[in-house]
Structure 1
Amino acid sequence: MIAMLHVEIRKLNGSLALLLAILAPALPGFLAALSLISTDRAPQWGSIFTGFVLPIWSFFLLPMVVAAFTTLVGQIEYRARGWDHLLALPIARWRLFLAKAIVVLAVSAMMTMLVLLFTWVGALIGGAISGYTPLGTLPWAKLGRTVSLLLAGTTMLIVIQLWAALRFASFVMPLVVGIGGTLVAMAVAMTRTDQAGWFPWVLPLKILTAPDPAHYAMLGGIGGLILLIVMIGDLSRHDFR
């Protein structure tokens, strides 16, 4: 399994998928810098992360970036008929798809970590330009808990996107899934309904706004693991020709 993980990571080297995974998390940091440059008072560090950046990232940017990232990962194999070589190897199919899923989940977690880093850098730069450096200390405990819940809660969303990207040769289907899911989440947010808390694209919003977000994170995590097993079983039987 270690060797297969290494191979999957090497496939990302020099790819558009890796470029997206590095550059996309910089956008919240850029927005944080712009916010500090245009402000007329110094904000608290906590409000920058938990009140501004994480909601934007988890509710809108993360689902869209994951949709694009998984699509690019899937296209790596579909270009030049890569599945023909990969599935001809004397390796159990389920191990191949599990390795892909582990790498995608790990990169998705890395992107959220990069968001925190770029936000910190962007806020410092913006504060230095405007003269309003953020006040207080970084809320490490709150950030750690929130990010941990987000990583668990977005598992189901990521698995669905990866499933669509690997199942269909066309890049259109996973993008439609991602855009459609995000639009539904936006509709839920605007109507403020409580009837769609189970929807994978709504879970990040619930994790950030609900009084008790732990069960939403558990729903996304456990649901994601169940879907991962189903996905691996389906793809192992799928004819990629």
Structure 2
Amino acid sequence: MLSFLSVEVRKLNRSLALLLAVAAPSLIAVFGFFMALRAKASAPWEMWMMSGSAIWAYFMMPMSVTALTALVAHMEHGPKSWDHLRALPTPRWSLYAAKAVCVIGLVVLMSAGVLALTAASVSLAAQIKPAVAPTGAFELANYARMLGLMAVAGALMIAIQFWVAMRFASFVPALIVGIGGTFFAVVATSAKQGVFMPWQMPVNILAGEAWRMQTALALGGGLGLIVLILAVIHLARREVL
């Protein structure tokens, strides 16, 4: 398993996945930078960090997961290398498990990037325009915890996207699922039933109602782990044509 993880990390270094991992948090930071410059007065750190985290959970995380899983899957689907990989004298499940761990790891790294780059962009804007310098304490532990919970709540979404991307050689089904899931999550934001949508679970970490947050963590994290395990088992057993 460790050897497969090492190989997957080296593959990522030669792919566009790392570029995506940098670009997604950077776009949020750029948006925050210009919003801070447009502000007429200072605002608490909490407002800026909540704003960046909300954009990440609401839209950028679902779309990033869609693109990331498609990229990781295409590294094998494109050159049709599954037959060679599955013929290796190692358990097949470890191939898919290593890829799943890499995807989750990149999502966690992107979450950390959202925190770091959002804080840096607002600080830079404050240097240019001192009148908008954030007020209050920068509660790093709270912001990190919030983004960590979003990653946990997004586990079910990641598992579904990973399963679809690995199952189909074409990247189109994964894109359809990801775009469709994000679309319905956006239009159903205020609906009570929306909390049960995997693509809406990360943003429910910011919900005012405790039950929405608890539901997102229980279904997103708990059910997400189960679905991911089932995905690895199914992918390892099926024949690749």
TM over 0.5: yes
Matched AA of 2:15: S
- The offset of 1:96, in angstroms, is 1.1
Q: Which residue of 1 aligns with 2:121?
A: 122
1:17-36 pair list within 5 angstroms:
17-36=17-36
Matched AA of 1:63: P
Q: Which moved more, 1:144-153 or 1:34-43?
A: 144-153
Q: Which residue of 1 aligns with 2:107?
A: 108
- The offset of 1:226, in angstroms, is 0.8
Q: Which residue of 2 aligns with 1:148?
A: 148
Instruction: Confirm or deny that 1:165 pairs with 2:157.
Output: no
SS of the residue aligned with 1:42?
coil
Matched AA of 2:134: P
Q: Which residue of 2 aligns with 1:76?
A: 75
Matched AA of 2:135: L
- The offset of 1:210, in angstroms, is 3.7
Matched AA of 2:192: D
TM-score, structure 2 length as denominator? 0.95
Matched AA of 1:158: I
Q: Which residue of 2 aligns with 1:240?
A: 240
- The offset of 1:153, in angstroms, is 0.4
Q: 2:192 aligns with which of 185, 191, 194?
A: 194
* Contact persistence 1:33–1:127 (CA under 8 A): no
Stretches of structure 2 lacking an aligned partner (at least 5 in a row):
none
- The offset of 1:142, in angstroms, is 2.6
- The offset of 1:112, in angstroms, is 0.5
- Indicate the percent of aligned positions where both proteins have the same amino acid: 37
4+ aligned runs moved over 4 Å, structure 1: none
Q: Quote the Cα distance in structure 2 between the aligned partners of 1:9 and 1:129.
A: 38
Cα distance change, pair 64–23 in 1 and its aligned pair in 2 (3 A) = same
* Contact persistence 1:38–1:130 (CA under 8 A): no
Q: Which residue of 2 aligns with 1:16?
A: 16
Instruction: Confirm or deny that 1:94 pairs with 2:93.
Output: yes
* Contact persistence 1:159–1:224 (CA under 8 A): yes
Once superposed, what is the RMSD of the aligned Cα atoms? 1.2
Q: Quote the Cα distance in structure 1 between the aligned partners of 2:69 and 2:154.
A: 14
Deviation string, structure 1 residues 89-147 (Cα, Å, up to 9, x no partner): 11111111111111110111110100111101111111112222211211234313312
Q: Quote the Cα distance in structure 2 between the aligned partners of 1:3 and 1:240.
A: 22
* Contact persistence 1:43–1:135 (CA under 8 A): yes
* Contact persistence 2:115–2:144 (CA under 8 A): no
Q: Quote the Cα distance in structure 2 between the aligned partners of 1:228 and 1:210.
A: 29
Q: Quote the Cα distance in structure 1 between the aligned partners of 2:16 and 2:148.
A: 27
Instruction: Confirm or deny that 1:205 pairs with 2:198.
Output: no
Deviation string, structure 1 residues 13-68 (Cα, Å, up to 9, x no partner): 12111211122111111111001111111111110011x11111101011001101
SS of the residue aligned with 1:25?
helix
Q: Quote the Cα distance in structure 1 between the aligned partners of 2:66 and 2:46.
A: 29
Q: Which residue of 2 aligns with 1:53?
A: 52
TM-score, structure 1 length as denominator? 0.95
- The offset of 1:206, in angstroms, is 1.6
Matched AA of 2:199: W
SS of the residue aligned with 2:70?
helix
Stretches of structure 1 lacking an aligned partner (at least 5 in a row):
none
Matched AA of 1:120: A
Matched AA of 1:94: W
Deviation string, structure 1 residues 174-207 (Cα, Å, up to 9, x no partner): 1111100001101111xx2102311101112222
